[in-house]
Structure 1
Amino acid sequence: MPVSALLEPSVRYMKAATALAEGPKTARIAQTPKTLVSRDGRTALYRYKAKGPKAKGAAPVLVVYALINRPTILDLLPGRSVVEVLLAGGLDVWLLDWGVPGPEAADEGLEEHVLGYLDRAVDSVRSETGAKAVSLFGYCMGGTLSAMYAALRPEKAAKLLVAVAPIRGRQTEGFLHFSSRPELFDPAVFTLQGNVSPEALNAGFVMLRPVENLLGKYVRYFERAGDPAFDGLFFAMERWLSEGVPLPGRLYRDFVRAVYQQDLLIGKGVPVGAERARAADVRCPLMTVTSAQDHLVPPSSTNALLERAKSKDKRGLEFAGGHVGLAISPKALATVWKQAADWLAEPGSKGPRIKKGGRL
């Protein structure tokens, strides 16, 4: 056997290892064109460039992502972008980028984020477009904050689309099962230095599935390395995962205690300044999107909003995938997100006729 043949596996491994070290740094993500409209402290408001005819009578859509990671996962790559699907549906899509919280943000809680940054972003969209109300699309923690906002400022919420968002905190599975038990989890421990570091947050998520996160995905990478499509997606995901941001300490404590541990959103209400946000006060047309294999936010947590909200138009979609896969799966984009976009695009619509909780 030629020496070159004996060395081939080692050479391939070294090439793959080098690519893994450098690929995420140069991966191009969030390529959909958008314009910076305004800044509010560390936050920024963007408007995506429209594609094709505009949906007549549809309210502008404000995307509200979690503060734990960057919102780029919703526009990861061409063909793997929720934002693309919304734009293809003729929607006027806006993005509230929470930015990177510094030490000065440590004392900013729910009031500053829901009735401060989010409320001002909604008002900016209304002012720029002339719309009386805005459709809110919240993903993960952003969905919880959007639900609070819709409950507190119903006159400004045209529709509410909530995806894989914790609404009912007390669960018997996943991350919520641990974090919702005060005897096991004290959020104050993670905020002794002010904000919660992205390293601390990431470590917690990694340890939910340590074998998969620390070993499994890399085994798959080295098995398939060299495939341009696979490498492109893998590196894009690695870049997104590496761009975690600090979480304001007070917001973290308020959120975990009120939403997870005390279940106030589905009860007497989460304190937001001098007001209380209750799921039962959501009255605008509502749609939830869940993932059957979500190990962070089980469907029963998100769908508690369907049970409690007073909306006359309530719809539920469920995808047979995970928490992050929901945002980038071609199947999810072609089914769940296409139908969600159609629902957002219809003025006064009751949404697609989908059986509540029906899997796509």
Structure 2
Amino acid sequence: MSEGRRGGLLRRLRRGAENALELLREGRLGAPYRAPFDVVHEDPRYTLRHYLPAEDAAGDVDGTSPVLFVPPLMVTSEVYDISPELSATAFLAAQGVDVWLCDFGAPEEISGGLDRTLDDHVLGISDAVDRVVAYTGRDVHLVGYSQGGMF
């Protein structure tokens, strides 16, 4: 192995060890973060979040169709709201987009969460769409990735 490759491998190993130590010490790699939101609806299947527009939002929420984020099966909604720098929900709200999220919670932390089926997700998303349409009076744009994008 060349000296350059060996040095690169050692740097990656050191960074990995630092991350592992931080996980052991803090329980996560970064500080917990959530963009501000209101809970509009909650039932055993899901929680419907409505993200608050930023005070200095670039657009007019009243003139846009709402966006409803749908996380993949068995993945928490944090995937769309990781940190201030990596938050799709906060970014779109700052642009004046009316942002909603269908939060199924952390399946392993919710009673019956690991017993959910695809039907439960489909019915939850359908209900969330109906509620956002009723609340806003507008059609909804669904946003998802992986299995969250197939709805």
2:126 is the counterpart of 1:127 = no
Residues 62, 137 of structure 1: 8 Å contact kept:
yes
- C-alpha separation in 1, matches of 2:49 and 2:62: 21
Which of 90, 94, 113 is 1:88 aligned to? 94
Residues 63, 137 of structure 1: 8 Å contact kept:
yes
Runs ≥4 residues deviating over 4 A: 15-18
Residues 45, 121 of structure 2: 8 Å contact kept:
no
In the alignment, structure 2 segments of 5+ residues that lack a partner are: 1-13
**CA drift at 1:85:** 2.2
Residue 24 to residue 104, structure 1, CA distance change in 2 (3 Å) = closer
**CA drift at 1:92:** 0.5
Residues 29, 72 of structure 1: 8 Å contact kept:
no
Residues 22, 29 of structure 2: 8 Å contact kept:
no
- C-alpha separation in 2, matches of 1:82 and 1:111: 26
- C-alpha separation in 1, matches of 2:120 and 2:45: 12
The superposition leaves residues 198-234 of structure 1 with CA deviations (integer Å, 9 ceiling, x where unpaired) of xxxxxxxxxxxxxxxxxxxxxxxxxxxxxxxxxxxxx
Residues 38, 49 of structure 2: 8 Å contact kept:
yes
- The one-letter code matched in structure 2 to 1:122 is V
- C-alpha separation in 1, matches of 2:49 and 2:112: 24
Residue 29 to residue 54, structure 1, CA distance change in 2 (3 Å) = farther
Q: Which residue of 2 aligns with 1:23?
A: 26
- C-alpha separation in 2, matches of 1:22 and 1:84: 28
What root-mean-square deviation, in Å, do the aligned CA atoms of Structure 1 and Structure 2 show? 2.7
- C-alpha separation in 2, matches of 1:77 and 1:64: 18
Residues 23, 29 of structure 2: 8 Å contact kept:
no
- C-alpha separation in 2, matches of 1:142 and 1:122: 14
- C-alpha separation in 1, matches of 2:34 and 2:120: 30
**CA drift at 1:32:** 0.7
Residues 40, 117 of structure 1: 8 Å contact kept:
no
The superposition leaves residues 70-117 of structure 1 with CA deviations (integer Å, 9 ceiling, x where unpaired) of 1212111111222222112210000100123544763x5333321x11
TM-score (norm 2): 0.72
Specify the SS of the correspondent of 2:91: helix
Which of 74, 81, 101 is 1:75 aligned to? 81
TM-score (norm 1): 0.33
Map 1:192-207; keep pairs closer than 5 Å: none
- C-alpha separation in 2, matches of 1:55 and 1:34: 15
Residues 50, 99 of structure 2: 8 Å contact kept:
yes
Specify the SS of the correspondent of 2:33: coil
**CA drift at 1:30:** 3.4
What is the aligned length? 130
Higher relative contact order structure (alpha carbons within 8 Å, sequence separation ≥ 6): 2
Residues 42, 48 of structure 2: 8 Å contact kept:
yes
Residue 80 to residue 92, structure 1, CA distance change in 2 (3 Å) = same
Q: Which residue of 1 aligns with 2:120?
A: 112
The superposition leaves residues 132-168 of structure 1 with CA deviations (integer Å, 9 ceiling, x where unpaired) of x111111211001x2xxxxxxxxxxxxxxxxxxxxxx
2:40 is the counterpart of 1:37 = yes
- C-alpha separation in 2, matches of 1:40 and 1:20: 32
Q: Which residue of 2 aligns with 1:49?
A: 52
Which of 63, 66, 70 is 1:60 aligned to? 66
- C-alpha separation in 2, matches of 1:113 and 1:18: 36
- C-alpha separation in 1, matches of 2:60 and 2:39: 20
Map 1:289-300; keep pairs closer than 5 Å: none
